[in-house]
Chain A
Amino acid sequence: MIFVCKNCGGNVVYSPEKHTMFCPYCDSAGSGERKDPASGGDISVCPGCGGEVKAGEHISATQCPYCGNYLIFNERVEGAYAPKKIIPFQMGKEACKNALKEKFKKNTFAPTDFLSEAKLDSIEGYYVPYWFFQYDTNCKYDGEGTKSRVWTSGNIEYTEISHYRIHRDMDIDFKDIPVDASVQMPDDVMDLIAPFQFSQMEPFKPEYMSGFYGEKYNMTSDLVESRADSRMKEDAEKLLRESVSGYSTVSAGSKNIQVLDSSVEYGLLPLWRYHYQYDGQAYPFYVNGQTGKIVGTLPISKKKVWAYTGTLWGSLAAILALIQLIALWI
């Protein structure tokens, strides 16, 4: 499907700034109309120009290389692949570019063109498939803690150690632990790009995908559940630990985390991708399309390292030498 403008026939896209469908050709808002391929279901034909678009194995939304329209592949957002929810992009391309510029402007050793307009223009908005896990748990801790008090009287130092039996019993309901369902997305990056503000989560509508790239899930929830499960257990243990305070020492004791109920939902989360190439190597950067959080490792220009460090060394040496000479001659 594509979304076309009722007024001018141009491709309507979702605007993160305006929070609505927007036609960049005639500047009209909310004028989008869904247009499905005539054949119905042929995902490789652009309904805008009829050109054949290579969709790849998992792509659910892309841009037609011939007419530039943004296409959404029906079969990959419907039925078994229909996302239940989505956080629409809250941050537009310009805001994303500015966030990158702001964060890396002081990185002296980054290649000069890293923040150039020409390179930053290649940034793409991308909806990543996620599984959202819910766990209702009951967590218990039983252990022993000590509190110590020290005082002196005369030349005697007293140390009093009091022993306590500690018991905690709490219900922790975990909601929407996100785990990416994409093979190509690196897991560490997808974990670091969190958190997302789930208050802005909306029921899925394909309109939100117009103007962006997207992917259907290509890892089932069974395959990724272990990641959510270990995150849940890690957080539950931390919360149990945090509930015990005021003690000098606390024994390991016994912890029991019991899952009472669990469920999983499929959804899409927004991020911007910046694929920067330097010296034949790829340096991918990811920006949270909602919060603007940036994940990525900067390439280092060796020439700049030598030039900047050398100049700093030379300037400092010259300053110290000149100060000494002035002191000698004054």
Chain B
Amino acid sequence: MRDTIKKEARKQFFRYFRVWFIVVGILLALAVITYITHVIKNNVPRANHSAPAQRVYDQANVLTDKEEDSLRQRIAEVESKHHIDVVLVTFSQSVEGEDAMRQYGYRSTDWEQNMQDYADDFWDENQYGYNKGFEGDGCILVHNWYEGQNGEHLSTSGKVEAAFSSYDIDTVLYAVDRYYDTDPYKAYLAYIDEVDSLLSQKEHPIGTGTFSWTAVLLIPSVAAAIYALVNLRQKKAEDTTSSSTYVEERKPVMKAQSDEFMHKNVVTRRIESASSGGGGGGHSGGGGHHTSSHGASHGGGSHRH
């Protein structure tokens, strides 16, 4: 008897969840197929061997050795994930005015132009780029810590240049701005994370491009709790009688009924008219595409503090 009940319980269980199990099975098969395709597709070896291995140049000395190591590690992850080079340079040098132009050979007296040239030249001269040494895939953030000229420039190249809009470049720079004066390490980590996240979004039009543990754990927990509550809730029975259930002919006999008007009163109220106003905000985009002194195409933008 007990075995029969157990057998029946198992049968009921599998019948109840059959659609769920089929869906999970189909998705599992699809996941295996897409994973194999993904591995084959993403097995892209590094083609550019001319670039130096170094990625973090802390010339302004704002990072500790440990922080530099940690950034290098994170850069390596992003590079192997997206097949791009990610470079970070900090320096402290005047890039504005006649003196800077004369002393360092800049082509302009303008801060933004020279920051852009500094970044583009650093990239081009070191022949960075995951796939090739000229117009290769990747990006570089240069941060100038020179007093009164603090600010950073992001220069993009190759597929990163193609993928990032002015808005995206600004997004990365804003992420850096948030922490640069309190914790430079955090600011540069935000640079790498933001590049990773934006590229993931571009490369994966379906979903966010990242794996969300919150979705995997939270949504099913909420759904399971609702499911359990709904199924646990029960009433003995509803009262299905009404006030006339036990009344002869189901209806009372009205002997007398009157609704006699007595008096009325009127209240008035002045309607106040309200006016409201508001303002709008603007957003300035980052820099656009340009050609460096080495003849390479770059995208990019600067933020000066």
**A residues adjacent to B (C-beta < 8 A):** 107-109, 112-113, 116, 118, 138-139, 144-145, 152, 155-177, 188-189, 191-195, 231-232, 234-235, 238-239, 242-243, 293-298, 300, 304-305, 307-330
Contact = CB atoms under 8 A, between A and B. Distances in A.
Contacts of B254: 168-170, 243
A172 B37 CA distance: 81
B30 interface: yes
Contacts of B273: 155
Interface string B16-42: 110011011001101100110110000
Given A157-B271, A315-B24, A113 B244 contact: no
Contacts of B211: 321, 324-325, 328
B271 A173 contact: no
A158 B267 contact: yes
Contact of B240 (A171, A195, A308): A195
B9 A329 contact: no
B262 interface: yes
Interface in B187-222: 204, 206-207, 209-212, 215-217, 219-221
Nearest to B34: A329
Contact of B236 (A139, A160, A188, A234): A188
Given A116-B8, A189-B236, A315 B246 contact: no
B76 to A, nearest CB: 19
B240 to A, nearest CB: 7
Interface of B: 1, 5, 8-9, 12-13, 16-17, 20-21, 23-24, 27-28, 30-31, 34-35, 37-38, 204, 206-207, 209-212, 215-217, 219-221, 223-224, 227-228, 231-232, 234, 236-241, 243-248, 252-271, 273
Given A188-B236, A312-B223, A315-B21, A173 B9 contact: no
A325 B246 contact: no
A327 B207 contact: yes
A324 B219 contact: no
B243 A242 contact: yes
B266 A160 contact: yes
A35 B84 CA distance: 101
A163 B240 contact: no
A175 B248 contact: yes
A165 B223 contact: no
A315 B37 contact: no
Contacts of A297: 234, 236
Nearest to A324: B211
A324 B252 CA distance: 66
Contacts of A294: 237
B252 A323 contact: no
8 smallest beta-carbon distances between A and B, as pairs: A327-B207, A329-B38, A238-B243, A316-B220, A173-B248, A322-B27, A169-B256, A313-B224
Contacts of B234: 107, 297-298
Nearest to A139: B252
Given A169-B256, A192-B236, A329 B243 contact: no
A161 B31 CA distance: 70
Contact of B34 (A171, A315, A320, A330): A330
22 contacts: A112-B12, A144-B262, A155-B271, A156-B271, A160-B264, A162-B263, A166-B260, A169-B257, A177-B246, A191-B239, A195-B241, A231-B246, A243-B254, A297-B236, A308-B227, A311-B20, A312-B223, A312-B224, A313-B223, A316-B219, A317-B217, A321-B211
Contact of A113 (B5, B13, B17): B5
B264 A162 contact: yes
Nearest to A188: B236
Contact of B220 (A161, A165, A172, A320): A320
